[in-house]
Amino acid sequence: MSGVTTTERTITQDGRRVKLYIMTPARMTGKPGVLLFIHGGVWIAGNFDNHKRLLRDLVVGSGQVGVFVEYTPLPAAVYPTQLDEIYAALGWVAAHAGELGADGSRIAVAGNSVGGNMSAALTLMTKDRKGPKISYQVLLIPATDASVDSQSYLSYGKGRFLARDFMKYGWDRYAPDAKTRENPYVSPLRASLAQLQGLPPALVITAENDPLRDEGEAYARKLKEAGVSVDAVRYNGTIHDFVLLNALRNIPSTEAAIRQTAEGIRNHIEAD
């Protein structure tokens, strides 16, 4: 892909083997930080191939090194395996970013859809465990709650790219029991204000015609209520994963959202 160099690496961290894709911008000024990217796809359909254009846009736009986590999909694994693999990747990046020509003390996490869910969960987990510092979180059209009954689900759950039935199918397999779904690592929206306090600054992007819109915006409001610095933006006239879909790449809303995301990442983790 133009403007970047991509390599693959399988790492072992915390007893887990995780495949990573490392994307390095061709042009860098100073030592870059790291963008840890967590992909969507309802834990089933996502992978590097169908997310690499989006990651490339963010890497080139921000000037940071991108690290894409290829976590184990459903049905081969269920919660908490995926999140544990992502946390292992975070630990590895913090310790080994120098091998990538980057600074492991400057990390942003970004994810789309259920990747946004796990990005939010990762910030909670590393806070609780006193793990590697995350300086910025980007939640793109995120799933933040295991329920599928919000008004936006009812309004946009059919015929708007992401189907309510598909999300329910994924949730029923990722976290099938009610007790697990109460865990903030599964449903970040259910975290208490105390649990949310001290989390990194956030950019939350939602789409008007998206089943996940209401829960994404509710999570942004709750983060703000907890004292977290939040930029929350709804892009009107858009559908779920509009930033990901190549067919929509050149529409003004997609261009604006990618530019806003890349600038936010650069402003929060670039070298002083």
From the number of C-beta atoms within 10 Å of its C-beta (0-12, 13-18, 19+), residue 244 rates as buried
Domain spans in the chain, listed from the N-terminal domain onward: 4-269
Phi-psi region of 182 (alpha: psi -120 to 50; beta: other; left: phi over 0): alpha
- pTM of the predicted protein model: 0.97
In the residue annotation, 240 being an active-site residue is answered as: yes
In the residue annotation, 214 being an active-site residue is answered as: no
**Please, are residues 92 and 11 in contact by the beta-carbon 8 Å criterion?**
yes
| Amino acid at position 3, single letter | G
In the residue annotation, 113 being an active-site residue is answered as: yes
Catalytic residue among 84, 103, 145, 210: 210
Q: CATH fold of 4-269, please? A: Rossmann fold (3.40.50)
The set of residues, in sequence order, having a beta carbon less than 8 Å from that of 31 and lying 6+ positions away, is 101, 102, 103, 271
Copy the structure tokens of residue 102.
């980057």
Catalytic residue among 62, 113, 119, 150: 113
Catalytic residue among 84, 150, 187, 240: 240
Q: What is the pLDDT of residues 34-81, one digit of tens each?
A: 999 999 999 999 999 999 999 999 999 999 999 999 999 999 999 999
| Amino acid at position 44, single letter | I
Give residue 28's pLDDT band: very low, low, confident or very high (50, 70, 90): confident
Q: Which residues pair with 13 in a beta bridge?
A: 16
User: How far apart are alpha carbons 139 and 109 in whole angstroms?
Assistant: 9
Q: What is the pLDDT of residues 235-270, one digit of tens each?
A: 999 999 999 999 999 999 999 999 999 999 999 998
